[in-house]
């Protein structure tokens, strides 16, 4: 029986020649990730059980990105603990204020993930790296503690679903609209503990940033991971970023898939996920006119340079509605600097928006844009659960950078081509 792309990567990280869906395996790690919220828990468990040496200081990334620059004393103490751990163990890839970025944008940018590699992170959106043809998945902080010591992790091999993409996305339609469409179609448990594998002639038309976005939100469908084939677009991204050897895997022709979906990219429209689940999706045209109080453009999902360019294209020469607080969050320092060099920062400021240091802040209701009771936000983040970005009686509409920027100008939800 043939194997899927995910199964081949998992098998390559064990002593086995092949693996099957449902099988329990112990796999070797190529990279382990934790942040300023999850790392302190892992560190406490690591030390509690008497471990005094990490498995490989080159294969651990600690990124201070959620509550940094620190929003309060507790956040400062958490970061201090991680900082001390990184110094004690000589962790090479420790990223603090000034060097950090939002973790799931930062690791690919720094060349810390390559095709065919196996990555775990104590953050559910670790599945982002499937865009590069890697197997990556979120795990708990206790799994991270064990991984810090052993360099290994237990997995149940997931079943797989195939999403065959055809055609090309229209103007103002992006990877965010694609994944919102898919989640709306299959539901937040539609891919529960499965691998979402993308294929078809439409893949080649998707820029790498769109692939990051789609893989990032596989978890919102309940998936263990999302993964794309490795092609010219992948190689162009990792060129000059990765010098080490890596292996490219592809699914066998007779690989087994639980379900298959064919999706015409040409037919998609800008989408939004209405409160309070990512599966509550509609074309933005169906909710046009819903008033908003805030717009957030950024996060691990949509803080890439292409996302900022899209927002700037819409905001150039326009002003955001005075009643809409508009917050732009570049995902990394490199992206921030590129936005400055290209004049995007000037466009944002002249439009009436503010630019934040890279942070996960508002996405998880941490800081830099918390909502009050009754307020609505259109956000390029990934979750719109009750209370996710502030008060339990606030509302979150998930959307692409194009929709968020257009809505900020209009003062209400709108499609970019309807401005």
CB atoms closer than 10 angstroms to residue 168: 14
Q: What is the mean pLDDT of residues 270-298?
A: 97
Number of domains composing the chain:
2
DSSP 169: P
Per-residue pLDDT, 290: 97
Q: What is the pLDDT of residue 1?
A: 74
Mean pLDDT of 356-377: 94
What is the percentage of the chain residues whose pLDDT exceeds 90? 98
Q: Contact, 387 vs 276, CB < 8 A?
A: no
Tell me what pLDDT residue 139 has: 96
Mean pLDDT, to the nearest integer, of 190-216?
97
pLDDT of residue 180: 98
Same-domain pairing of 252 and 146 = yes
> Is there a single domain that holds both residue 125 and residue 229?
yes
pLDDT value of residue 110: 97
pLDDT, position 24: 96
**CA pair distance 8, 21, nearest whole angstrom:** 11
Give 121-132 pLDDT, tens digit per residue.
999 999 999 999
| Local confidence band at 203 (pLDDT 50, 70, 90 cut-offs) | very high
What pLDDT, on a 0 to 100 scale, did the predictor assign at position 239? 95
* Pair 155, 191: CB distance under 8 Å: no
Say yes or no: 337 and 238 in one domain. no
Residues 252 and 316 in one domain: no
Last residue of a domain, one of 263, 298, 333: 263
Tokens of 401: 């950078």
**pLDDT, average across residues 228-236:** 98
Q: Is the model's pLDDT at 419 over the cut of 90?
A: no
At residue 370, the pLDDT reads 94
pLDDT at 241 exceeding the cut of 80: yes
CA distance to 69, 134, 274, 334, 416, per residue, from 101 (Å)? 11, 21, 28, 9, 28
pLDDT band at 254 (very low <50, low <70, confident <90, very high): very high
Q: What is the pLDDT of residue 151?
A: 97
- 247 and 276 housed in the same domain: no
Q: Tell me, what's the pLDDT at 156?
A: 96
**Are 160 and 177 contained in the same domain?**
yes
Given this model, what pLDDT does residue 381 score? 97
Q: What is the CATH number of the domain that holds 286?
A: 3.30.499.10
Rounded Cα gap, residues 364 and 374, in angstroms: 18
pLDDT value, residue 15: 87
Q: Where does a domain end: 215, 234, 263? A: 263
- Cis, bond preceding 51 (omega within 30 deg of 0): no
**135/198 Cα distance (integer angstroms):** 13
pLDDT over 90 at 276, yes or no? yes
Do 151 and 246 have their domain in common?
A: yes
Query: Over the stretch 158-186, which tens digit does the pLDDT of each residue have?
Result: 999 999 999 999 999 999 999 999 999 99
Considering the domain architecture, whether residues 317 and 346 belong to the same structural domain is answered as yes
For residue 418, the model assigns a pLDDT of: 85
Residue 266's beta-bridge partner residues? none
Query: Domain boundary residue among 231, 248, 263?
Result: 263
Contact 129, 108 (CB under 8 A): yes
Note whether 302 and 400 are same-domain residues: yes
Q: Say whether both 287 and 194 belong to one domain.
A: no
Give the domain extent around 73: 5-263
- Strands 281-283 vs 271-273: parallel, antiparallel or unpaired: antiparallel
For 86-101, the pLDDT digits (tens) are 999 999 999 999 999 9
Beta pairing partners, 46: none
Same domain, residue pair 172 and 233 = yes
- At residue 337, the pLDDT reads 97
Q: Give the pLDDT mean for 125-142.
A: 97
Same domain, 142 and 250: yes
Are the C-beta atoms of residues 319 and 352 closer than 8 Å to each other?
yes
């Amino acid at each position: 029986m043939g194997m899927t792309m995910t199964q081949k990567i998992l098998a390559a990280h064990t002593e086995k020649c092949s693996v099957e869906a449902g099988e329990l395996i112990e796999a070797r790690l190529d990279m382990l990730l934790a942040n300023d919220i999850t790392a302190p828990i892992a560190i406490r468990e690591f030390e509690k059980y008497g471990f005094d040496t990490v498995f490989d200081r080159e294969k651990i990334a600690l990124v201070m990105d959620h509550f940094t620059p620190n929003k309060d004393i507790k956040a400062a103490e958490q970061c201090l603990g991680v900082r001390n751990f990184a110094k004690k163990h000589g962790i090479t890839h420790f990223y603090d204020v000034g060097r950090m970025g939002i973790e799931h944008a930062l690791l690919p940018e720094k060349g810390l993930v390559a095709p065919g590699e196996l990555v775990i992170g104590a953050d559910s959106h670790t599945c982002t790296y499937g865009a590069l043809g890697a197997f990556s998945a979120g795990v708990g902080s206790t799994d991270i503690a064990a991984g810090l010591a052993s360099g290994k992790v237990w997995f149940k091999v997931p079943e797989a679903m195939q999403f065959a993409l055809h055609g090309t996305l229209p103007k103002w339609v992006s990877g965010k609209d694609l994944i919102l469409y898919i989640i709306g179609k299959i539901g937040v448990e539609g891919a529960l503990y499965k691998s979402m594998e993308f294929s078809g002639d439409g893949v080649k038309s998707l820029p790498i940033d769109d692939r990051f976005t789609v893989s990032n939100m596989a978890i919102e469908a309940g998936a263990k991971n999302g993964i794309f084939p490795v092609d010219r677009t992948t190689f162009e991204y990792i060129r000059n970023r990765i010098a080490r050897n890596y292996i490219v895997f592809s699914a066998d022709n007779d690989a087994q898939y639980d379900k298959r979906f064919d999706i015409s990219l040409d037919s998609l429209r800008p989408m939004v996920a209405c409160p309070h689940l990512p599966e509550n999706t509609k074309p933005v045209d169906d909710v046009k006119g819903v008033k908003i109080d805030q717009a957030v453009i950024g996060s691990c999902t949509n803080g890439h340079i292409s996302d900022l360019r899209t927002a700037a294209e819409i905001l150039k020469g326009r002003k955001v509605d005075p009643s809409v607080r508009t917050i732009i969050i570049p995902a990394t320092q490199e992206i921030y600097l590129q936005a400055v060099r290209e004049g995007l920062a000037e466009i944002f400021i002249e439009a009436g928006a503010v630019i934040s240091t890279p942070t996960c802040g508002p996405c998880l209701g941490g800081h830099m844009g918390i909502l009050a009771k009754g307020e609505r936000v259109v956000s390029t983040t990934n979750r719109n659960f009750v209370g996710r970005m502030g008060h339990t009686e606030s509302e979150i509409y998930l959307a692409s950078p194009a929709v968020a920027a257009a809505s900020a100008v209009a003062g209400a939800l709108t499609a970019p081509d309807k401005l």
